[in-house]
């Protein structure tokens, strides 16, 4: 990947299920160390796009470029740059969290014990890492899923609704971890949610999607917050659609639409 080149470049992605459009000409990019939120209601197309980026699904049109590698023609080289947690993380319940991580590491090349321990530290599982996964809550599985995604030389971390199952402290710890990964290691993060307020404080920009179409890409206001209130100004060609999504978000005190 050349300097200045996007870590993730999504180009003209469209996807249909039968004759029904799921994604419609989706375009955006994510730079090195950038934290990009992906916000839309349930069923808007968030998980479908993430599955396409991780090669779990294939698009009908368009291409995905990861660290300069075309996902279609250089699949293995592209995917080795990604760590992802899509929907509920898959893991072996009869093994401990640590054993699950060791198993994954054994399938990769040159993963050291120190790298595994670092992934465990980022998960904030503490002593729970040595308990069997079948005893884990959903939130603990999300934490272990994050550790799994971080094993290996990851340039892009993809997190699909990662706050599901986390208590308020867990959400704060996750945000701190994401900030650390971006600032200290230069990891780019693509994180989805249907609740903007859960992720906006850590994002450098947010991509809004509705009915499979990107309705806005907004760089977050970096002005200091006053009285814990943050203002965000959104320019979009579809103000009614944007307003409909924003109205569903908790803690929105004032919404003004200007045409």
The predicted structure's pLDDT at residue 34: 96
The predicted structure's pLDDT at residue 255: 64
pLDDT (tens digit per residue) in 63-111? 999 999 999 999 999 999 999 999 878 899 999 999 999 999 998 878 8
pLDDT (tens digit per residue) in 159-171? 999 888 888 888 8
The predicted structure's pLDDT at residue 20: 94
Average pLDDT (180-193) is 94
**Would you place residue 230 in the very low, low, confident or very high pLDDT band (cuts 50, 70, 90)?**
low
Q: What is the overall mean pLDDT for the chain? A: 88
Kindly report whether the global pTM for this prediction surpasses the value 0.85.
no
Percent of the chain with pLDDT over 90: 66
What is the rounded CA–CA span in Å between residue 95 and residue 98? 8
The predicted structure's pLDDT at residue 224: 35
pLDDT (tens digit per residue) in 32-54? 999 999 999 888 999 999 999 99
Q: Which of residues 97 and 196 earns the better pLDDT score? A: 97
**Would you place residue 223 in the very low, low, confident or very high pLDDT band (cuts 50, 70, 90)?**
very low
User: Any idea which residue has 């990769």 for tokens?
Assistant: 108
Average pLDDT (186-214) is 92
User: Any idea which residue has 């003004």 for tokens?
Assistant: 256
Q: At what angle do helices 168-185 and 138-150 cross, to 10 degrees?
A: 10
Q: Give 117-123 contacts, CB < 8 A, sequence gap 24+.
A: 118/150, 119/147, 119/148, 119/150, 119/151, 120/147, 122/146, 122/147, 122/150, 122/177, 122/180, 122/181, 123/97, 123/147
**Would you place residue 198 in the very low, low, confident or very high pLDDT band (cuts 50, 70, 90)?**
confident
Res 137 pLDDT > 80: yes
Q: 3-state SS string over the chain?
A: CCCCCCCEEEEEEEEEECCEEEEEEEEEEECCCCEEEEECCCCCCHHHHHHHHCCCCCCCEEEEEECCEECCCCHHHHHCCEEEECCCCCCCCCCEHHHHHHHHHHCCCCCCHHHHHHHHHHHCCHHHHHCEHHHCCHHHHHHHHHHHHHCCCCCEEEEECCCCCCCHHHHHHHHHHHHHHHHHHCCEEEEEECCHHHHHHHCCEEEEEECCEEEEEEECCCCCCECCECCCCCCCCCHHHHHHHHHCCCCCCCCCCCC
Read off the tokens for 135.
Answer: 């005893």
Q: At what angle do helices 97-106 and 113-123 cross, to 10 degrees?
A: 140
Res 227 pLDDT > 60: no
Read off the tokens for 61.
Answer: 């049109």
């Amino acid at each position: 990947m050349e300097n200045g080149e996007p870590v993730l470049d999504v180009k003209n992605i469209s996807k249909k299920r039968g004759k029904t459009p799921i994604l419609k000409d989706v375009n955006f990019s994510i730079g090195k160390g950038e934290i990009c939120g992906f916000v839309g209601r349930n069923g808007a197309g968030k998980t479908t796009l993430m599955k396409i980026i991780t090669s779990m699904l294939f698009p009908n049109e368009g291409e995905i470029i990861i660290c300069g590698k075309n996902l279609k023609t250089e699949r293995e080289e592209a995917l080795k740059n990604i760590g992802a947690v899509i929907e509920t993380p898959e893991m072996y319940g009869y093994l401990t969290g640590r054993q699950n991580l060791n198993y994954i590491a054994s399938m990769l090349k040159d993963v050291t014990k120190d790298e595994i321990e670092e992934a465990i530290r980022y998960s904030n599982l503490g002593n729970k890492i040595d308990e069997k996964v079948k005893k884990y809550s959903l939130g603990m599985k999300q934490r272990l899923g994050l550790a799994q995604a971080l094993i290996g030389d990851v340039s892009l971390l993809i997190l699909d609704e990662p706050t599901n199952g986390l208590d308020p402290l867990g959400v704060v710890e996750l945000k701190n971890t994401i900030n650390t990964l971006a600032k200290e290691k230069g990891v780019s993060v693509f994180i989805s949610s249907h609740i903007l307020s859960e992720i906006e404080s850590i994002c450098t920009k947010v991509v809004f999607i509705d009915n499979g179409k990107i309705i806005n890409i907004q760089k977050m206001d970096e002005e200091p917050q006053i009285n814990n209130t943050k203002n965000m100004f959104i320019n979009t060609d579809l103000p009614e659609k944007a307003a409909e999504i924003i109205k569903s978000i908790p803690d929105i005190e004032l919404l003004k639409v200007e045409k």
